[in-house]
Structures are given as structure tokens and as C-alpha cells.
Amino acid sequence: MISMALTVVCLIRGENAEGQTKDPLLFPRDNYALETRTVKTVAGEKKVIYHAYRHIPYVANPVNKDYQSLNVMVPVEIDGKAIDAENAPIFFEIGVGGYMSVKNADGGTGGRQGGSSRSDVALAAGYVIVSPGCRGRDNKADDGTYYGKAPAAIVDLKAAVRYIRHNRGVMPGNTDRIVSVGCSAGGALSALLGSSGNSPLYEPYLKEIGAADAADHIFASACYSPITDLEHADGAYEWMFGSVPTRSGLVDQELSNQLKASYATYQKSLNTRGKNGFGILSADNYDKYLLQYFLVPSANKYLNELSDNARTAYLATNTWIKWTDHGAEFAFADYAMHIGRMKGLPAFDDFNRKQPEPELFGNTTTAARHFTNFSLRHSTGDQHSEIDNDLKTIVNMMNAMYFIGQNNRDCAAAWWLRNGSSDNHTSQTVMVNLVTSLENMDKEVNAWVFWDGGHCADDDPEGLITWIGAVTGFTK
């Protein structure tokens, strides 16, 4: 009876029986469900038994814990063999698509996470899987205000990383080997998490939601079709697709050329050095660079792996590709025409503010805002209007390239970057700028473009898992 009374008093005070304050961010290690999953891998099917933890809030003052919570899977047995995951890499799966929120409530997983072949293969490799929910541009409170506009998603993901690190030694997994993974907007957030480690810019936002007082850098970042560098993406899109008609014809060529010119200036300012003495990448030589180091090698791998008959048939329907003694040859303009243009002009900061990105940059009371001077000036008709400084800071806080440009000290050491050659959601230069600037920083970079792959293409989920094993040095 006395002990029950003590418990009640302690619970009211938020203390345990010893009078210490309870840690609201303590990982509930013993509170799991035992589950089994059969995973198809290159080495055959694997039966994985794991501890599942669901809907664990990762901040002390959540705005909405249905989003600011995470799931964890800890493998304990693979094909009848006991597994010790205490020191395993932590596969941090970002499920964001379209800069929308990821709901983590109801035992389910929102966004693109959950059941992805990549995370299943990671689990079957003995890795710990963490799937965080997070806020997004769609979150709206009952009073009509928005609570998931930029930078909420990256703030939440950082808070989730801090939660993991805060629980070092309590939650299984090696907190020095956190690897984020995501595609598209999720790929951009993965790149941002990788590049912006421990940046003080996010500190007030993290404090506000009661994030753990811990570091938020990660070891490695995997990014599929990253839709990053948003404020420069309109120009890059015109560079690649300006002469390619949409279904309703060519976009306004004067505006397209203006955007293209702004891209050329930006590209020059990056001062990124291409491989093997290629020189500084520019609007003038980037087509050649993409062909030489990404597109032709990708086409060659694809075509070489086809049977003679299949290759002949492929080339007969793709007459823009010439098959020579040295492999594939084609012109960049023909390649761009082959993929086709998907978006209008401007592709991201569109004049009607209907694209995901102006919505991402809304605020609590505004659904969507322009985030480039180009579109703001066009919309207002005032050639002197400027994006305000607060918004500029938020735009930077959403851009991996910003932190790379700042040489942020706690940038991830290892990077896996992938795109589909037929992805027309953003310019191919966006990912390759990431690749090249990270190479210029001497990071461990593994990049590839999947031939004829679309947005978020992944022809090689096991490749990532093997690479994580290699860069983390983890063996089961």
C-alpha cells in the first residue's frame, strides 16, 4: 500500500521511486512486440525475428506526437541464429515524399517508409531499423494554422537522431554509425541531415519541441533522386529541359533563358571540380560531364547486360543511341528529348504557388510562399522585391548544398547517391552537384545513375546494404 502511494506521488511528480526525475526520452527497451518477417535477399529467403517498438515519441514537447514519434526494429535472430545488434549500423529510414508529413500513429507507417525492400534487406543484414514520422507541409491544426512548414521536417529528423544518440547503450545499435536513407524529398532530407550535422541554426527549433540535448550528426547518408537545392532548381531545370516541349508545347523561351542564365551564374559560383582533371563544372560543359561520367557508363552497363537480340531490339526503338565498338554514343539533347519535360515553368517556385515547394515554404498562417526572387518579382510585378531574410535563412536550412558550401564541420563521412536516368522531376545536375562537391571534400562517395530508371529508381537495394556493411565495418 505504501509503495503504491509512493508510486502515485512519484508519477505525479514525474519521478521514479528513488526520487530521480524520470527521463521522458528514455527508450523503452523492454517494451517490445516479438515479430517475424521473411525477407527475400539475393542469397535467398531469410527468416528474421525482431523486437518491434512502435510510436515512441522522440521529443519531450511534441506539437503532434502522431508525427513526432518513431518505430524501431531490432533483429534478434536470423535464420535460427541469434543476433547481437548492440553494435549494428542504424538504418534511419526517411519516409517523406513530396515534402508531406509522415504519420507514425496507429501502428502503421506513413509516407514511403515501411515494407520497403531496402529496409527489409537491412533488417535481414542485422541492422537496426529506425523509421521516424515527421511533420510536413500539409499539417494543419484545428484552428487552421500550419505546423509542418519548413524547416519542421528536418528539425524533427534531427530530433529523432538526437533521441537515438541520447539512448546510446539503451537502444540497440551503434550511434556512431547512423545511416539515413530516403528518396526524392526524402532523399533531399537525407542529404540535408548528412550535410548539416550539429548546425546551430536549428537549435532554437529543437529546444522548442524538447529534443534531447545530444549531437545530431550522422555517419552516412543515402539519397535517391534527391530533390534538393530548391532555390536553384528552376534554373537547372531550364538548363536541362528548356528546349524540350511539355504536352502543351515549349515553355516561355524568354523566361526559360533568363532562368538558364541564372543557373550558369550559380553553377560557376559553386566552383566544383570534375573528376580526373575535367575542370570546373559549368553550364557549358556539364552536358559533356554527365555523358562521360554518368549517362554513357550507365547505358553501357545496361546494354552490355542485354542479350544480343534484346540489345538489337532496344537500339531499334531507341535510334538516338548509336552502338559502337566503344559502346553507346548519344547527344545530350537527344537524351533530354527522350526523357521529356515533366514540369512547367518555373518547375519548382511556380507562379501560381501550387507546386510542393512554395507550400513547403509557407508559414503558420500562409499556405504557400515564393522562395526565389525570380518568381516573387514575376508575381508581384516589382523588380525590386526580395525574399525576406527570415525566409532566406529557412531556405538555406532546407538545402544540403548550403551546408556543403559552408563547409559544415560535422558533414557525414560517407555518401551513397542514386538517380534514374529518366527522372525528370529535377535536373540531373542537382544530384551530380552533390556528388561532385562531396568528392571535392574527399568524402567517401558512391554514385550511380540507373539506366532508364525513373524517379526514386532503385535497381540495387542490396548494393546499399552491402555498402553500409563495408563503410561501417560491421560484421554480424
Site pattern 379..408 for ligand DHB (x: CB under 6 A):
------------------------------
Q: Closer to ligand DHB at the Cβ: 187 or 274?
A: 187
Question: Count residues contacting ligand DHB (CB under 6 A)?
Answer: 8
Q: Closer to ligand DHB at the Cβ: 128 or 150?
A: 150
Give the per-residue SS3 of 96-123. CCCCCCECCCCCCCCCCCCCCHHHHHHH
Distance from C-alpha of 401 to C-alpha of 267, rounded to nearest angstrom? 12
Specify the residue for cell string 501550387. 354
Q: Closer to ligand DHB at the Cβ: 51 or 425?
A: 425
Q: Closer to ligand DHB at the Cβ: 185 or 414?
A: 185
* H or E segment to which residue 51 belongs: strand 44-57
Report angle CA 290, 458, 159 to the nearest 5 degrees: 100
Q: Closer to ligand DHB at the Cβ: 158 or 425?
A: 425
And the C-alpha cell for 474? Answer: 560491421
Distance from C-alpha of 409 to C-alpha of 406, rounded to nearest angstrom? 9
Site pattern 154..193 for ligand DHB (x: CB under 6 A):
------------------------------xx--------
Q: How far is the CB of 136 from ligand DHB (least distance, A)?
A: 10
Restricted to residues 5-44, the positions that interact with ligand DHB (CB under 6 A) are none
Q: How far is the CB of 183 from ligand DHB (least distance, A)?
A: 7
Q: Give the sign of the dihedral formed by CA 207, CA 212, CA 214, CA 218.
A: negative
Restricted to residues 79-98, the positions that interact with ligand DHB (CB under 6 A) are 97-98
Q: Is 460 exposed, middle or buried (0-12, 13-18, 19+ CB in 10 A)?
A: middle
Restricted to residues 50-69, the positions that interact with ligand DHB (CB under 6 A) are none
Q: Closer to ligand DHB at the Cβ: 99 or 163?
A: 99
Among 155, 227, 435, 465, binds ligand DHB (CB under 6 A): 227
| Sequence-separated (6 or more) residues with CB below 8 Å from residue 221 | 179, 180, 190, 191, 193, 194, 195, 412, 414, 415, 416
Neighbours of 331 (CB within 10 A): 13
Does residue 156 contact residue 92 with C-beta atoms inside 8 Å?
A: no
Site pattern 409..448 for ligand DHB (x: CB under 6 A):
----------------x-----------------------
Q: Closer to ligand DHB at the Cβ: 341 or 425?
A: 425
Q: How far is the CB of 419 from ligand DHB (least distance, A)?
A: 12
The residue whose Cβ lies closest to ligand DHB is 184
Q: Closer to ligand DHB at the Cβ: 194 or 274?
A: 194
Specify the residue for cell string 562531396. 438
Q: How far is the CB of 38 from ligand DHB (least distance, A)?
A: 29
- What is the DSSP code (8-state) at residue 319? T
Site pattern 345..384 for ligand DHB (x: CB under 6 A):
-----------x----------------------------
Q: Closer to ligand DHB at the Cβ: 179 or 230?
A: 230
Q: Which of 221, 142, 267, 281 is nearest to 411 (CA)?
A: 221
User: What number of residues does the chain have?
Assistant: 476
Asked if 240 is part of the footprint of ligand DHB (rule: CB under 6 A), the reply reads no
Q: How far is the CB of 342 from ligand DHB (least distance, A)?
A: 8
Reduced to 3 states (helix: H, G, I; strand: E, B; else coil), residue 441 is coil
| Sequence-separated (6 or more) residues with CB below 8 Å from residue 163 | 25, 27, 58, 59, 70, 211, 212, 214
Q: Closer to ligand DHB at the Cβ: 99 or 402?
A: 99
Q: How far is the CB of 198 from ligand DHB (least distance, A)?
A: 26
Does residue 217 contact residue 230 with C-beta atoms inside 8 Å?
A: no
Parallel/antiparallel/unpaired status of strands 90-93 and 81-82: unpaired
Q: Which of 129, 33, 140, 38 is nearest to 90 (CA)?
A: 129
Residues that bind ligand DHB (CB under 6 A): 97-99, 184-185, 227, 356, 425
